[in-house]
Amino acid sequence: MNTTTVIVGSSIGGVRAAQSLRLEGYEGEIILVGEDAELPYDKPPLSKAVLAGKAEESSIRLLTREQAEDARIQLVLGHAATGIDVAGKLLLLEDHEPLRFDNLVIATGASARPSPWGQRPGIHVLRSLDDARKLRADLLKGGQLAVIGAGFIGAEAAATARSLGLEVTVIDPLPIPMSRIFNPEIGHWFGDLHRNNGVTTIFGTGVEAIEGEQGSFTLRLTNGQKVEAATVLVGIGAVPNDAWLGSSGLLVDNGVVLDEYCRAVDAPQVYGVGDVARWRHSKHGEDIRIEHWTNAVEQAACVAYNITHPDSPRAYTPVEYVWSDQHDWKIQVVGRVGGNAEHITIGDPETHGRFAALYTSDGVNLRGAAIVNWPKALLACRRGMATGITVEELRETLQPLLEPRPKVAL
């Protein structure tokens, strides 16, 4: 009997789930549903090459119509899913008849957290291709850019805007940027990176209000300071797109809640991948949700495997990985960093132009690492995380590789 897998969400998680199903030899029908009418596209370049105007939009397509046809992936784009009838195995859609499924993959990702300071022309968020087009159009008009939030996306957009010659101010309520992710020492280096590249930074201060209109905004800060800006980017994080699951009866708690095999805890024929998925990481012993590209890809492969091997499913236990490009830094984070973990750093940005911060929670074993501009260290850490390695062993490997090299920046 022919089975049908319906995948909701036509971005990296959904597209890869469809492709991986075919790779695993799945013979049934595959229907990929997306709210966005655009052909599936990739998001990381939106704050980097696409915003800079260095990449054609065609270069970020994840799936062309021909590729979809060749892989027998049916596209239903421009229709939002509105609910699931779990017992009746139906996916309900806006302006479209319901789709019957045997297996359903939820890959609806996340949305940018909206601006709490009003939403009007000139105040941007950055999540979709359309967001990137609009922001770029405003950047090209020139004038000051104010970025609220010094997280990955805010910091990348600030760096890109500098490369376009704009004056940029980054504002973040945290006194030390990225200190929710890293320890203060590394956070300070991120602050230096911005300032060394001509970004004005205002840290430890929140935004109270955005006044004025496009072209002449005034941001009123909590310390009384005022910042003028022609354009504002609000980069204050993302929220999972799980509201549409409200009536489904599935357990939703900051993402759809899944078991260790990425199946909905109360409906084993429903799976989840990517930014919307909160699953039980059996090695960490907790439910986690990750908003990074590589996780969406690896989780999609695992779900495809589990759909095609229902009798011998694989638990999903990835080592977290994310990269970010800011100014001339290639930043890569492996495993779990920050928090209460102790750390040592090898190299530093001033002398070596590269460094690795190695984190441990038991004082011995590597738990995570943050690496800047150092491919060999990245590889050693990713391999070490996969097989288990002590911080001391890694230090012995990496320290001899360090040679002073002139900084590229400044």
Ligand X SMILES: Cc1cc2nc3c(=O)[nH]c(=O)nc-3n(C[C@H](O)[C@H](O)[C@H](O)COP(=O)(O)OP(=O)(O)OC[C@H]3O[C@@H](n4cnc5c(N)ncnc54)[C@H](O)[C@@H]3O)c2cc1C
Interacting residues toward ligand X by CB under 6 A: 8-14, 33-36, 43-44, 46-47, 80-81, 107-110, 126-127, 153, 241, 244, 274-275, 291-294, 296, 322-324
Least distance to ligand X from the beta carbon of 158, Å?
A: 12
338/183 Cα distance (integer angstroms)? 5
Query: Residue 81: which of another protein, ligand X, none does it interact with, CB under 5 to 8 A by kind?
Result: ligand X
Least distance to ligand X from the beta carbon of 320, Å?
A: 10
Least distance to another protein from the beta carbon of 70, Å?
A: 13
Residue 186 CB neighbour total at 10 angstroms? 23
Distance of CA 42 to the CA centre of its chain: 11
Per CB under 8 A, residues contacting another protein are: 16, 19-20, 23-24, 44, 293-294, 297-298, 301, 321, 323, 330, 332, 375-376, 378-379, 382-383, 386
Query: Residue 33: which of another protein, ligand X, none does it interact with, CB under 5 to 8 A by kind?
Result: ligand X
Q: Which is nearer to another protein, 23 or 52 (CB)?
A: 23
24/350 Cα distance (integer angstroms)? 48
HSE, side-chain direction, 13 A CA sphere, residue 379: 4
Q: Which residues contact 275 (CB under 8 A, 6 or more apart)?
A: 13, 109, 110, 238, 240, 241, 255, 289, 290, 291, 296
Query: Residue 288: which of another protein, ligand X, none does it interact with, CB under 5 to 8 A by kind?
Result: none
Contact 81, 108 (CB under 8 A): yes
65/211 Cα distance (integer angstroms)? 44
For the record, the structure tokens of 384 come out as 């070490």
Query: Residue 19: which of another protein, ligand X, none does it interact with, CB under 5 to 8 A by kind?
Result: another protein
For the record, the structure tokens of 321 come out as 């990985």
Q: Which is nearer to ligand X, 35 or 228 (CB)?
A: 35
Least distance to another protein from the beta carbon of 314, Å?
A: 13
For the record, the structure tokens of 309 come out as 């091997």
Q: Which is nearer to ligand X, 290 or 346 (CB)?
A: 290
Least distance to another protein from the beta carbon of 378, Å?
A: 6
